[in-house]
Amino acid sequence: MKEVCSVPRAGISNRNQQDSLPHHVAMIMDGNGRWAMQQGLPRTAGHKKGVDAVRELVKYCRHRGIFYLTLFAFSSENWSRPQEEVRVLTDLLCASIDTEARLLIDNDIKLSVIGDISRFPDSLQKSIERTCQQTLNNCSMTLTIALNYGGQWDIQNACKSIARMVESGSLAAAEISQQLIESHLCTHDLPDPDLFIRTGGEIRISNFILWQLAYTELFFTDTYWPDFDVDCFECALNDYAERQRRFGNIECQIKESA
Ligand code: IPE
Ligand code: IPE
Ligand code: MG
C-alpha cells in the first residue's frame, strides 16, 4: 500500500491554523503479531513491544497538544484468539496500566476506559478502576483505552437503554434524536474523533467506534504498530492538516466561514 502522506493534495487548504491539528485522534493499533513473526519471534513479543509504542505516542500527543487520544487495545472479537495470547494480552494490560499510572499523573493525563471490562480478571479491573480514579481530575489530555469494546455492542446498549425509557413512558419515540443516542454511547463525554489512524495495513474499521467515525478523517498506514513512531504520527498529522472537512457542504461555503 502506498503511504497516503507522500501524496500531495492539490489546491485545498485548511480553514485556519487552529483547525490543522486534530483535537481528538482515535487509533487502531494493529500489526503486533505480524511485526513479531517478521522478526522470527512469537506473536506475544509484538504485543510487548507494542506497549512501548503506546507510551511514546501518549507522551508525544501530550507534548503536541492533542487533547483526546482514543486507542483500540482489545476488541470484543479478540477473545476468540488462542487462549495463551489472550492471557498474555490481559497480563500485559494489567502490568502496563499499573506501571504507566505515574506517567499519566506526572503529565496531567486522565485515563478513561470504554468497553465491558467485567469479563477481564479482577486484578485488571481493579488496576483500571484505581488508575482512572487517580487521574480523574487531570485535565491536560484524556487518554481513552477501548477494552473488550465493540462499536455494535455500544450501539446495541444505547438502543436498549433508550428502549427502556420508552417502555417506562419517560420518553416518546419521536423524542429520540441523534444527540440522545450519542448521550447513551460509551463515548458520551468525548467529542467525535477528527482523525482516525489504523496501522498494520488493513483498510477496515473492525468494529471500532462506528457511530462516532461518521465524519472522521481516515488515515491508513502499512507500518506495524510496534514500529509506529513519532515520525509516522507526524506523517498522519501532516496529511490531516491538508484535508478540507466539508461535512456535506461545498468548498466555497467552507472558505466563506473561515
Ligand atoms: C493488534 O495487533 C493488537 C490486538 C488486536 C490486541 P494484532 O495482534 O492484531 O497483530 P496482527 O494484526 O495479527 O499482526
Ligand atoms: C482490531 O484489530 C482490534 C485491535 C487493534 C484491538 P484486529 O487485528 O482484531 O482486527 P481484524 O481481525 O484484522 O479485523
Ligand atoms: Mg490484527
Which amino acids are annotated catalytic? 30, 78
Give the domain ranges of the chain: 20-158+191-257
Q: What is the DSSP string of 139-182?
A: -SEEEEEEEEE-HHHHHHHHHHHHHHHHHHTSS-GGG--HHHHH
Give 79 Cα–ligand 2 centroid separation in angstroms: 11
Q: What is the pLDDT of residues 146-164, one digit of tens each?
A: 999 999 999 999 999 999 9
pLDDT at 10: 30
Atom of ligand 1 nearest to the CA of 36: 14
* Residue 26 β-bridge partners: 70, 196
Q: Which CATH code, of 3.90.730.10, 3.40.47.10, 3.50.50.60, 3.40.1180.10, is assigned to 20-158+191-257?
A: 3.40.1180.10
Q: What is the pTM of this model?
A: 0.93
User: Residue 6 pLDDT > 80, yes or no?
Assistant: no
Return mean pLDDT, the chain. Answer: 93
Q: What is the pLDDT of residues 48-68, one digit of tens each?
A: 999 999 999 999 999 999 999
Which bin fits 128, alpha (ψ -120 to 50), beta or left (φ > 0)?
Answer: alpha
Q: DSSP assignment, residue 70? A: E
pLDDT at 229: 98
Atom of ligand 1 nearest to the CA of 37: 14
Q: What's the mean pLDDT in 70-75?
A: 98
